[in-house]
Amino acid sequence: MRAMHDLRGKKLNELEKICNYFENNKSRMEYDQYLNAGYPIASGVIEGACGHLVKDRMERSGMRWKLEKCS
């Protein structure tokens, strides 16, 4: 990506951030291996489950979220 552009200034800075992100997280992006191991790779599935959990919890009568007090 770095070699295939003619960018300057702010756009070049954004491209550098993106390239750095991919380089820094390369070990977490082995999707072929994850799929072969049977791991879910779609964050949408996880986000959907979390959304349903919060929604279901908050729609019950009298349900509230609160932090436990530490002693």
Q: Is 34 helix (H, G, I), strand (E, B) or coil?
A: helix
pTM above 0.85, yes or no: no
What tens digit of pLDDT does each residue of 13-67 get?
999 999 999 999 998 888 889 889 988 777 777 778 877 777 777 777 776 667 7
Quote the CA–CA distance of 54 and 60 in Å, as a whole number: 10
What pLDDT does 21 receive? 93
List C-alpha distances in Å: 37 to 1, 18, 33.
29, 28, 6
Q: Give phi and psi for 63, each to the nearest 5.
A: -85, 135
The DSSP letter of residue 63 is -
How far apart are the C-alpha atoms of 22 and 31, rounded to whole Å? 13
